[in-house]
Every structure is written in C-alpha cells, then in structure tokens.
Structure 1
Amino acid sequence: MASGGKQQFPPQKQERQPGKEHAMDPTPQFTNPDYKPSNKLQGKVALVTGGDSGIGRAVCHLFAQEGATVAFTYVKEQEDKDARDTMQMIKQAKTSDAKDPMALAADLGYDENCKKVVDEVAKAYGRIDILVNNGAEQYKASSVEDIDEPRLERVFRTNIFSYFFMTRHVLKHMKEGGSIICTTSVVAYKGNNKLLDYTATKGAIVSFIRGLALHLVGKGIRVNGVAPGPIWTPLIPSCFDEEETAQFGSEVPMQRAGQPFEVAPSYVFLASNAFSSYYTGQVFHPNGGVIVNA
C-alpha cells in the first residue's frame, strides 16, 4: 500500500472477513448506466463464486443483463444481506428467457462443499456453461513469521483450493464451448510485501489458468483469468487500517481505485464465445495503468 497518498475514501475499518458491501462508504459501484447489453450470454448458465459483493456482484449483474441464468455463492451469516441484495438486483436485471437466479451459502475451501454447490446448480439448470472462480480472502502481515499454519491453510483453501475443487466438479456438467474464468490479481505479477500468503495464492492461480487451459483445450473448454488492480470491494476495509483504506488506489498511474463495474466487462468478454473464441490461457489486466509482464 502507498503511504501518504491522496485520500480516495472516508477512513473506515471492518473488523472481520468477508467484509460487508452494504457497510462501506461509499458503497462500490456494481453497475454502469452507460452499459448496453446485447444478449452476449443468452441461454447460458453461469456459476460465480463470491458473487454476493464486489467484483462478483458486478459480474453476476452483467451476466444477467446479457441473458445468462446466474447462480452464485456467498458466506453464510456474514454475507446474508449482501447476498439478498444481489439476488434482488439479478432478478431485476435478468432477461425474460433466463431462469430465476440461485444463491448458495458454502465454505468452498472444502471439496465436499464445492461438490454440493455444483450438484445443486446442475440439478436446477441441467448444465453449467460458465464457471467464474472468484472467491477470495486476504490478511495483512508485517512479517512472514506472523503467518502461522492455520492462517496459511485458510487463505490457500479459499483462494486456490476452491478453484481446483469447483473446476473438477463443474467439468462433469460442462460441454464443449464452456468457459472457466479465474480471478487472480495484479499482486501475482508485482508482489506485495504485506500480503505474502494472498500474493502466493494469486500467483498459483495464474499458473493454474495456464495449465488448465492446456489441459482442457482438446475438450473445447476455454480457461482465462482477470487480474484486477486496486478495486473498491469489501476486502479493502476488512483487511487494511483506516489510513490505508482512505488512500486505497492512489498509488497506480490513474491515481484512483477502480470500481467493480469497470472490471466486470472483462468477464463478459471472456465468457462469450462470440467475442473470445480464440482466447485461452490468457489474463486480462484492469489495473489503473500498472505495467506488468504477463
């Protein structure tokens, strides 16, 4: 995080993860009134992990606008209100031929929970065309010595184990033409000295994307990723202190944090065979102008 940068947001702090979107000031912008949907995902079934808030909410909303039937996961109790709000937004945005959305509470760090989620979605809709692996958590640490085994396992379970588990079960219900999109981060490319375990998982996701793309190319299933820079989501006030949150995003060339609606179109592009049929093993970089070696 930058120190002494320009204030972007009112100082604020949430005490636990996952953070609450409805408690943020200002609340993240999940929709762009200038966006014009054009049925890019009509007839598709999409499953988005961590879809109740932040980037996940924006992706769910755009997918619904583009004609997809949308299911998403969230963390029970901590994210109940955000999940209800997102469900209502999707219902209002969905097209007439899409089925009603579904919200499923689950800890996706464990294989059996991922299987239950996937089986429930497949039973309701008959198949899964698009999987967005997006759920994540992060915590600061002043030293690698402060990251103990339980914390390391917790972060890896949420951020990368769940991607493996969700993928292995979704593939039973995904046919040729399917799309898997994984959320990584700019820190996978430039590092972050205060988010060592989170950064390690995001690097693992980049390698997972590349390996899985090669593994599935023969089945006609594309695998790509999105590596956002500083985006205003509940992860921020639930991870950083008040000063860091206030200055969040000021360190990038655009000197501001991005909003979820500025990231979500990347997922629509990668989910749509009409737009991205020749893309696999690639990562998009909506990051405010940070130059990375992809």
Structure 2
Amino acid sequence: MTDDRRAPDPRTLHPRPDFPEQHQPHPGWTEPMEPRPDHGEDSYEGHGLLPDRATVVTGGDSGIGRAVCLAYAREGADVLFTYLPEEQDEARETARLVEEAGRKAVAVACDIRQEEQCRALIGRAADEFGRIDVLVNNAAFQMAQTEGIEAVTTEQFDRVMKTNLYGMFWLTKMALAHMHEGGCIINTTSVQAYKPSPPLLDYAMTKGAIVTFTQCMAQMLAPRGIRVNAVAPGPVWTPLIPATMPETAEFGKQAPLGRAAQPAEMAPAYVFLASSGAGFITGDIVNATGGTPLP
C-alpha cells in the first residue's frame, strides 16, 4: 500500500537521462528542448515570503533566472530582469509569468559585459522601484572546449570573464547606492567552482572567483546590514546546455541522484536567501548539486 503523505523519490521527481541528443546555437531557447525545462509554472506556490520586495535578476529570460523570477513574483516581489536582444521571446514569457502572479515585470535588454549598460540597468531599476532590495547576479556564459586550453580563444575567454565576473562586479557596486539595510545580494556560482571539468576551464575559473567575491563582499557589507550569499548548482537542464555542450544525452547522469536538476528546483534556495528567514546567513554558499560532495 502506498502512503501518499511521503515525499516523492528525488531520483524520479523529474526526467532522467538519457535525453534525445540535441543542439542549438547560443544562447539557446526553451521551447525546442526535450524534455522541456520546468520553471515551476505548475508547481511553485508562494507563501508571501518577499512582500513588495524590489528585485533585480540578471539572465531572467530562461533557465534558473526564469525560475527565480517566477518564484519571487509568487512570493510577492516585483521583478526587473535582463535578457539578451536575441532572447526577446523568452523574456516575454518570463514577464507573462511574473504579471500573471500579480506583480510588476520589467524586462530589460542588457549586455552586462558593457559597464554603461550595467549603469543604465541599475538606473532603470531605481526609477521603476525607488530602491533595490534584492540583486541576483545570475547571468553567465560558458562554451565547452573538449580539445583543451588550445581551443579556448581570447575572444571566448574575454566573453566568459566579462559576463561572469565584470558584470557581477559592476552591478553589485552600482546597486549599493540604492540598497539599504535589510537588502541582499545573491550570486550564482557552480559545482564547477569545486570540481572543475576540463572542457569548462574558463567558466570554472569564474565560478571559483564568484565564491571568493561572495565571501569577501559579505564581510564588507555586514556592517551596513546587507547580506551576500551564493547558490552553487550542479547540473541543471537549461537552454545553455544544448547551446554550449558537445553531448547532451547523458547530461546530469554523473550526479549521485542520477539526473540533472530542473530550474524549478533551484528557485527555493534563492527565495530563502532573499527572505527574512535567512537574516543570520551571509557569506554562505548553498550547494544544490544532486549529491556531489563538495569541500
């Protein structure tokens, strides 16, 4: 006899590999993916944890970013999020989900590799909300190179560094002028910071730097009552995977739970870290790796 009160088996809660082999040009799109990523559209229930918070999420058009935008809205927050110009259709869907939750959605095309675009983004957030309560530095770029460091061009290296590090640095620095005590910053690092995969050399380098940045900023901003934390996902099924990885059929199989996470499974960590329930948590990394042991 099955007891329906039991929690579901985490190994089978979402699709397991093997998936159909699939590839897309960067930046990738949600709709063609099989299985389609789950952002919590039908499952995430809000509990008023972020009432009237003014939030900024980079890379909110799809993947983890979309899941965070959806969850924040259902928890009572207004959301300004960024997307690349070629991701406009994806951004419309994220905005729809936020507005469907009864909250304000502001979608801004922004290349965070450009300092002036970061400055304009923070200015737009201040104009729309009057303040910034939560900044989520989530946008990232990767491109796997299976042939080693020789295959990593200077152009690629520069794009990875500027997207993953420069943008985070500029946005954090600029947002502080509009962030008061009780505010928080949440960065997206990765299991790659601790267990780097050689084909993702440059990406893994940046994710290690994000851990250090998070821990240092937490100490710097604690006297101002601003918390800084990070989330370190393991393998997550997002459009970035078919757009940047040479093989997708077995993606996530290496995790002890035997599958990749869905974006919806990452969002609760970002909600918790932004909530008052995490008031004594700063300088920490929430690891969501599917069981991969980390130091």
Q: Is 2:101 aligned against 1:93?
A: yes
Instruction: Give the corresponding residue for 2:223.
Output: 218
Alignment of 1:160 onto 2:165 = yes
Contact 2:19-2:34 at 8 Å conserved across structures? yes
Question: How far apart are 1:23 and its partner, in Å?
Answer: 2.3
**Is residue 2:240 matched to residue 1:240?**
no
- In 1, distance between residues paired with 2:293 and 2:244? 25
Matched with 1:253 is: 256
Gaps of at least 5 residues in structure 1 are 1-5
Distance of 1:203 and 1:23 partners within structure 2? 31
Q: State whether structure 2 residue 266 is matched by structure 1 residue 263.
A: yes
- Structure 2's unaligned 5+ residue stretches are 1-15
Aligned mate of 1:10, from 6, 12, 20: 20
Q: How many residues align?
A: 279
1:40-61 CA-to-partner distances (Å, cap 9, x unmatched) read: 0001100000001000000000
Partner amino acid for 1:276? Answer: A
TM score, norm. by length of structure 2: 0.92
Residue 171 of structure 1: aligned partner: 176
Q: What residue in structure 1 maps to residue 8 of structure 2?
A: none
2:235 and 2:250 map into 1 onto residues whose CA distance is: 11
1:140 counterpart letter in structure 2? A
Instruction: Indicate conservation of the 8 Å contact 1:110/1:165, yes or no.
Output: no
1:57 correspondence with 2:66: yes
CA shift for structure 1 position 32: 6.1
Q: Matched residues, percent identical?
A: 46
SS of 1:285 mapped into structure 2: strand
How far residue 149 of structure 1 moved from its aligned partner, in angstroms, is: 1.8
Distance 2:255 2:262 in 1: 14
SS of the residue corresponding to residue 175 of structure 1 reads: coil
Alignment correspondent of 2:202: 197
CA RMSD in angstroms, aligned pairs only: 1.2
Work out whether residues 8 and 256 of structure 1, in 8 Å CA contact, stay in contact via their aligned partners in 2: no
1:187-212: CA deviations, max 9, x gaps? 10111111000000101100000111
| 8 Å contact kept, 2:122–2:175 | yes
| Aligned with residue 115 of structure 1, among 114, 119, 127 | 119
Contact 1:8–1:249 (8 Å) recurs in 2:
no
- 1:81 correspondence with 2:85: no
